[in-house]
Amino acid sequence: SRRHFAERVSFPGATGGSVFTEKMTFLSDYPTIPTYRVLDLDGKVIVPDQDPKLDKDECLKIYRTMISLNQMDMIMYEAQRQGRISFYMTNYGEEGTHLGTAAALTNDDVIFGQYREAGALIYRGFSIQQCMHQCYSNEKDLGKGRQMPVHYGSKELNIQTISSPLGTQIPQAAGAAYALKREGKDACVVCFFGEGAASEGDFHAALNIAATTEAPVVFFCRNNGYAISTPAREQYRGDGIASRGHGYGMHTIRVDGNDILAVYNVVKEARRIAIEEHKPVLIEALTYRQAIPFHVGHHSTSDDSSAYRPKKEVSDWMKQDAPINRFRKYIQDQQWWSDEQEQALKKQVRAEVLECFAEAEKLKKPAVSNLFTDVYDELPWNLVEQKEKLEALMKKYPSHYDASSHAKE
């Protein structure tokens, strides 16, 4: 009826149920989304009922994983500096986002990563040794030496292989989540990305699609303040990444990414919402891209970050708020950890990492024929021909095509 049209906003695009107003107001002053935390900087629980009360074994597993990750980063960073591997990216300062998330998931949950989430993979069971095999592109690398270092992946562990193009994994995560929903699985997809990648069109596509298809996916943004050299202020002008969730009609939360327990709580509840309510969730974890001690925190080994941020800013962060230190204080308060254990663990982990390093370095590269396989399920005629051509050339010019560092066919 005409009356109905006059009183209600009946436009079909007004899905949120808008009301008419005769006052012209441009929205500009939005409330800023708060940052949820459990622990203070001294590792003390601020509001007791927010403590997830993880048991001792769980906490020590998380802590050991962080120490292992740090030690691996330190050794691999140096290995790259010495030219022993071609490239590396460290995880310093973001261990909280990795471990808080990983601990809240099951191995049935599918992980789509960006490239700086190694801690989550190691927690799940991707070993330091496997990381090193990948970085060394040796014959035990599951990826057969085809991708740059730190592009990990494992079918067995439900970790989709990392790729370099930023943001591409975000809509893929929505699709995988939709598939899990169709299977009726008690599982979700967790998709990591940085605040820089959230500027890509794929981010927009993904969140919108996840919302409209009601896919059980948890979008986890690591907002560490920089995309290589670009500070957040040049990346966006809204209230970070979290503020965008509302626009997509999505459950959204912002969390202190240096607080493992806060990240754990948030991911655990997000997982429940995604699976039980069939709704995607957006999590923005605020953190800071820190550094290996004695180095300024770079984006990667190809980057010198002192060109765009003061060394003091980095060292201040590391002194004031490293996620690993906060968590260490927490477990020390529980009487689960001591300085002696700390020293012993570091020594032990360092030895283990060096052992893995030596093992990875001594192995051969994969057989050269792996250059041609897996483009398709089978080699088409053109690849058969091209493979034969290369083999003939290798035979004709053995000194140029020295394959002695590669495994035999």
Partner 1 sequence: MLSSASRNAASRLRSSVSFVKRTLASSSGSPPPAEGFMQGVATSKFIKATKEQALAHPELAAVKNSETQKMNYFTAVNDALATALATDDKAVIFGEDVGFGGVFRCTIGLAEKFGKDRVFNMPLTEQGIIGFGIGMAAVGHTPIAEIQFADYVFPAFDQIVNEAAKYRYRSGNEFNVGGLTIRMPCNAVGHGALYHSQSPEAYFAHTPGLKIVYPRSPIQAKGFLLAAIRDPNPVLVMEPKILYRSAVEQVPVDDFVLPLGKAEVVKEGKDLTVVGWGAQLYVLEHAVQEAEKRMPGLSIEVIDLRSILPWDRDAVEKSVNKTGRLLIAHEAPHTGGFGGEIAAAIQERCFLKLEAPIARVCGWDTPFPLVYEKFYVPGMIRCLDEIERVMNY
Q: Which two tokens stand for residue 5?
A: 């049209």
Question: What is the rounded CA–CA span in Å between residue 32 and residue 241?
Answer: 11
- Which H, E and C letters describe 280-349, residue by residue? CEEEEEECCCCCCCCCCCCCCCCCCHHHCCCHHHHHHHHHHCCHHHHHHHHHHHCCCCCHHHHHHHHHHH
What burial class does residue 313 get, using C-beta atoms within 10 Å of its C-beta: 0-12 exposed, 13-18 middle, 19+ buried?
A: middle
Among 42, 186, 374, 388, binds partner 1 (CB under 8 A): 374
Question: What is the rounded CA–CA span in Å between residue 244 and residue 193?
Answer: 15
In the complex with partner 1, the residue whose CB is nearer, 271 or 326, is 271
Kind plus residue range of the DSSP H or E element containing 178: helix 169-183
Among 174, 250, 253, 274, binds partner 1 (CB under 8 A): 174
186-195 core/surface letters (b: 16 or more CB in 10 A; e: else)? ebbbbbbbbb
Instruction: Tell me the closest approach of the beta carbon of residue 127 to partner 1, in angstroms.
Output: 15
In the complex with partner 1, the residue whose CB is nearer, 29 or 377, is 377
Active site residue 127: no
Active site residue 164: yes
Active-site entry in 151, 251, 298, 299: 299
* Residue 182 touching partner 1 (CB under 8 A): yes
Among 173, 227, 270, 318, binds partner 1 (CB under 8 A): 173
* Residue 175 touching partner 1 (CB under 8 A): yes
Among 50, 127, 129, 208, binds partner 1 (CB under 8 A): 208
Amino acid at the residue 130: Q
* Residue 63 touching partner 1 (CB under 8 A): no
* Residue 387 touching partner 1 (CB under 8 A): no
133-149 core/surface letters (b: 16 or more CB in 10 A; e: else)? bbbbbbbbbebbbebbb
At which residue do the structure tokens 């809204």 appear? 238
Instruction: Tell me the closest approach of the beta carbon of residue 360 to partner 1, in angstroms.
Output: 16
* Residue 205 touching partner 1 (CB under 8 A): yes
Among 67, 72, 102, 110, binds partner 1 (CB under 8 A): 110
* Residue 165 touching partner 1 (CB under 8 A): yes
Instruction: Tell me the closest approach of the beta carbon of residue 163 to partner 1, in angstroms.
Output: 6
Among 12, 17, 83, 184, binds partner 1 (CB under 8 A): 12
- No. of helices (H) and no. of strands (E), the chain: 14, 7
In the complex with partner 1, the residue whose CB is nearer, 54 or 190, is 190
Among 76, 150, 176, 275, binds partner 1 (CB under 8 A): 176
Q: Check: CB of residue 263 under 8 Å from CB of residue 101.
A: yes
What burial class does residue 241 get, using C-beta atoms within 10 Å of its C-beta: 0-12 exposed, 13-18 middle, 19+ buried?
A: buried
What are the residue numbers of the active site? 78, 164, 299-300
Residues near partner 1 (CB under 8 A) are 12, 110, 112, 141-144, 146-147, 151, 153-155, 160-161, 163, 165, 168, 170-180, 182, 189, 201-202, 204-206, 208-209, 212-213, 373-377, 380-382
